[in-house]
Amino acid sequence: MSAGLKVVRAGLFDTLQDLGRTGFMALGMPTAGAMDRIGLSLANALAGNPANTAGLEIGVMGPDLLVEADSVRIALVGPLSPALIDGPDAAPKPLDSDRSHLLKRGQVLRVGMIEGASTAYLAVAGGFDLPAFMGSLSTYSRAGIGGFDGRKLAAGDLLPLAKAAVPAGNERRIAQPFDYGSGPLRVVWGPQEDYFSEEGRRTFVEAEYRVSKEADRMGIRFEGPTIAHAKSVDNGGADIISDGIAPGAIQVPGAGLPIVLLADRQTVGGYPKIATVASVDLPRLGRLLPGQTVRFAAITVEEAETLRRDQDSRLQRAIAAFVVARPPGGIDLARLYEENLIDGVVFDSP
Amino acid sequence: MSVRYLSCGDTAFTVEFGNEISPEINGRVMALHAAIGLARGAGEISGVIETVPTMRSLMVTYDPLATSRADLQPKVDALIARGLPADAGSRQVTVPCCYDDPEFAPDLADVAERTKKTPEEVIAAHLASPFKVYVLGFMPGLAYVAGLDQALFLPRRSQPRVRVPRSSVAIAMDMTTIYPFESPGGWHLIGRTPLWMFDKRREQPVFLSPGDSLAFERIDRRRFDRIAGEVEAGTFDWASLVKSK
């Protein structure tokens, strides 16, 4: 029997994602990929994987997963309250997020609800044993491609693991929560800021916008004051000859409300784009929930590039600073059960 | 002819060759798309992730951890200044189309009436149009193909269909298209091809590429069914439809 994680109860919108399917936008293929690249990168690093390994992106509420492998090392990243169930009649025991765990055959991981964010990540050591499509495992569900059968997970799915068992060892955790930043979302004007009146541009950077219920992997529709186009909408003021859409592009159709386009965005579009969210703040966007509010602040391309490089340095430092996860009392129970027949009680090194 | 550089955040910029749809402008877009590909292959440009051609512009996406706008834009500018080759490496593609079955062509009679032609004249005009794939987008494999005979220009349907079958051949404005998936759509359906514009089983899942010259070939229902069977089974010889120019 092949090793896997069996979905015994599906979450709301769980898809496999890596860092995206690049190189095929010219053929109309959206990149898809993780909504929060930082969360996926941290989960992969905790599991000992390269950053671009596909992990499970959990949307709002995660699945219950039965371990059908001798052992599997998982890492959960995000504001979750997961639980582990040891057997059919066992009570759920709380499990910490932002660290790795070694799970055994027959255990059920209940990922549960995400608190205060829309996305969280689960990585498995060695990754999932699934075929890449056009070079990537990212799920693009509108075309039914990538990931697990091109769709979100459903009860009964068996996610095949690349490794049937992993050696016991020190589990690792994040030393302190990664700082995603706060304050306004940083944006760069353009590509079509000249399609908006001066007043429209001022509204965009001065007003507060609320995430509407129409928010998914394709984009977020905001509610708030309308942004005035330079020319009347009846006169083509909200139409351009379609051009390429970068991640974080903020298009403003005739109705005047901004839509920010994210991982599953279409490759080209015909609405003018007032500004583009700087890549440093895309992970924050990817975690927003309906009802949350944002403001936008304009910076230059050079500032955006510098911020992104600084953020990547911080991410690399956070990964280098992972600490050994020490359970309460200093005894690693998983290792104790595994190794005390040979070595006696195992304590984690500090 | 000067170009404009438009900012798309810190991971992309757009090179805009003009604000109109014309073969000359699209030719320059496709030439820069090809030139950047060659320059990347030769190691003259690094940090570019991909380039996205549209009818009048090329979006260049890059990794801000590997390069910068200040480094990249002058290199792109130098490629343009060096002179762009015309019509670089384009292909001639034939797409078989069955116009005869009313199920495939529910709008043919309406198009004929509105353009004051017979259905046969509409088909002849579609077959004679010098089509060129300008851009793919909206959904994977959906091609916007320009070059439609002017006599067939019509606005989109006032009432879009909720479901257009996969592989429907449609016209609207100055373009034709082929639906890669069953989807909503507002174009006029005048035929159907047995080909799938997107087939995830194929090594190259998307059949058409930007820059392709395209002509339709009229087939009857019997030939349609035969090709459709081969496409379904994965045995169809796709290469027989493509010639390099």
Report cis status (omega within 30 of 0) of the bond before A191: yes
Consecutive H or E run containing B39: helix B23-41
CA separation for the pair A213, A291 (Å, rounded): 8
Per-residue pLDDT tens digits for A190-241: 999 999 999 999 999 999 999 999 999 999 999 999 999 999 988 888 889 8
pLDDT surpasses 50 at A267: yes
| Model confidence band, residue A1 (pLDDT cutoffs 50, 70, 90) | low
Which of A236-240, A259-263, A342-346, B163-167 is predicted with the least confidence, judged by mean pLDDT? A342-346
Full DSSP string of B107-135:
THHHHHHHTTS-HHHHHHHHHH--EEEEE
Measured between beta carbons, the chain A residues lying within 8 angstroms of B140 are 24, 27-30, 140, 143, 145
Counting residues of chain A whose pLDDT is more than 90, the rounded percentage is 86
Q: How many CB pairs under 8 A join A and B?
A: 153
pLDDT surpasses 90 at B156: no
- Tell me which chain A residue has its CA closest to the CA of residue B18: A241
Full DSSP string of A9-56:
E--SS-EEE-S---S-GGGT------S-HHHHHHHHHHHT--TTS-EE
pLDDT surpasses 50 at A332: yes
Per-residue pLDDT tens digits for B115-150: 999 999 999 999 999 999 999 988 899 999 999 999
pLDDT surpasses 70 at A293: yes
Count of helix runs (H) and strand runs (E) in chain B = 5, 14
List the single residue in B8, B21, B70 with the smallest CB-CB distance to A246: B8
Consecutive H or E run containing B53: strand B48-53
List the single residue in A27, A190, A268 with the smallest CB-CB distance to B6: A190
Rounded to the nearest 5°, which phi and psi values hold at B237? -90, 90
The Cα diameter of chain A in Å comes to: 80
Q: Stretch B51-75: mean pLDDT, rounded? A: 97
Per-residue pLDDT tens digits for A155-176: 999 999 999 999 988 899 999 9
User: Comparing B207 with A338, which gets the higher pLDDT?
Assistant: B207
Contact yes or no for B54 and A241 at CB 8 A? yes
**b/e per residue A252-262 (b: at least 16 CB within 10 A):** bbbebbbbbbb
Measured between beta carbons, the chain A residues lying within 8 angstroms of B13 are 191
pLDDT surpasses 70 at A328: no
Which of A36-40, A324-328, B171-175 is predicted with the least confidence, judged by mean pLDDT? A324-328
pLDDT surpasses 50 at A262: yes
